[in-house]
Amino acid sequence: METLYKSTRGKKEVKSSEAILNGICDDGGLYVPINFPNIDKSFDELSKLNYKSLAVYVLKKYLSDFDEKDIRDSVDKAYDEKFSEKLIAPINKKGEAYFLELYHGPTLAFKDMALSLLPYLLKTSCRKLKINKEIVILTATSGDTGKAALEAFSQVEGVKIIVFFPENGVSDIQKRQMITQEGDNTFVIGINGNFDHAQSGVKEIFNSKELNSSVNDKGYILTSANSINIGRLLPQIIYYIYSYAQLVKNKEIESGENINIVVPTGNFGNILAAYYAKNMGLPVNKLICASNENNVLTDFFNTGIYNKNRNFKVTISPSMDILISSNLERLIYEISNHDEEVVKDIMKKLIFFGKYELGSNFREKLKDFYAGYVEDRDCLKTIKDLYEDTGYLIDTHTAVAYKVYKDYKYKTKDLTKTVIASTASPFKFTRAVCNAIGIDSDESDDFKVLKDLSLYTNLQIPKALESIYIKNILHKKNCNKKEMKMVIKEILNL
């Protein structure tokens, strides 16, 4: 059965290649599948597949206009030796949960899982649509997406990639990873502001008819690597189905047994992928949405009110320092029974008032979710306690997820076996992790902190970080939000 896509705000149907290449809809909405395909094999069968084979199985259901060979070739190129683990996404049973390690790619964060695949999906989409224009990837990042996209698209022929990041809103290592990025087709710009400024600026550029006209006239096609692009979101569905199949394989659960999934959440894309997997038939009891002190999503799920009118907090889990969760629009589309007018009205309220409230009929449909948040001090204690109890080291984002899960378990007494999405290597957020486990890092330079953490824990520094502090800084540009369009015009010579 063919899977088609449409906007959350309109009715025009398109095939997957067009949805991926466009990135965002003409009406400002986000592409969503019209219907969810079903998991039509038993989990006993799926447990026998490796990650690549399962990826092909899942993607075939969503990429109806792609040949199986195109999908298989894309998957083989994406999940190759640049992943340090042969399993791609191993599961580690520690403490009270199963940690799904999504950080074994080249940039040590879960964004590699989807962004390694996206270049090949975009190139295949261009070929199928007979488009010969050069692709311009435009993205905003709260730290991880930017580097993963830069790594994925660097030196890819026929592609330019432009990344905007909050100058003081990412970790030292995240920033260094981006500003040392090599590749003539890569452009990295710091924003004087937070991630929401960068993200809203990028959305304004996509929605600017004047700029898009100039881009097209110059022989470019503009698209996104953020999870607003359905081509970024779909590959994230795979690892939730894979994790379940592996638990079946390892006899940790029976086939058909429910699990919980906990996701540290900022822009809502990663947990939305788990929700999509549930809609396909993955046996999920609760989707647990874990936030840091920017707890706009926690309030949304607990009250039905989304209100970004609050102080923005810079935390030790910076990839979640977000007050506008773009992918929530896709969830609202689903719980409103695919009512585009409801979505448009809610999004208008968000733009004009910075808040909206769901009616009680919609709130009833949020029962799949539980939400909680964690303050920095509890995040640090969670890292410390788990390390002391088990010897297992997690980063600040994974710690947020684990603490929210423990709070949930204490509150509900729910003993359902639970998968934690472990989204980044502890070495990406070294200072905070050092502080958590008692290593004094305040006076040390960044590279010494890496070495101190490695020596203390007897863990090897990931290869991706070994030379990061001796690389030349290649990207020094900085701008305000209102200057972003001008920067794009300069880069593309418009």
Residue 32 in any domain: the answer is no
Residue 35 in any domain: the answer is no
What distance in Å separates the CA atoms of residue 98 and residue 424, rounded to the nearest whole number? 15
Residue 393 in any domain: the answer is yes
Q: Domain limits at 421?
A: 91-105+231-469
In this prediction, residue 446 carries a pLDDT of 78
In this predicted model, what pLDDT tens digit does every residue of 474-491 receive, in sequence order?
A: 999 999 999 999 999 999
Residue 15 in any domain: the answer is no
In this prediction, residue 436 carries a pLDDT of 97
In this predicted model, what pLDDT tens digit does every residue of 39-73 receive, in sequence order?
A: 999 999 999 999 999 999 999 999 999 999 999 99
Residue 392's pLDDT band, with cuts at 50, 70 and 90, is very high
Residue 290 in any domain: the answer is yes
Q: Count structural domains, the chain.
A: 1
Strand-pair category, 305-307 with 284-291: unpaired
Least confident of 28-42, 236-250, 435-449: 435-449
Residue 397 in any domain: the answer is yes
CATH number assigned to the domain comprising residue 290: 3.40.50.1100
In this predicted model, what pLDDT tens digit does every residue of 313-357 receive, in sequence order?
A: 999 999 999 999 999 999 999 999 999 999 999 999 999 999 999
Residue 172's pLDDT band, with cuts at 50, 70 and 90, is confident
Q: What is the dihedral of CA 266, 269, 272, 277, to 10 degrees?
A: -140
Residue 300 in any domain: the answer is yes
Q: Quote the pTM value.
A: 0.93
Cα dist from 345 to 271, 276, 306, 321, 348, whole Å: 24, 24, 14, 26, 5
In this predicted model, what pLDDT tens digit does every residue of 127-159 receive, in sequence order?
A: 999 998 999 999 999 878 889 999 999 988 889
Given phi > 0 = left and psi -120 to 50 = alpha, else beta, which region is 281? left
Residue 258 in any domain: the answer is yes
Mean pLDDT of the chain: 94
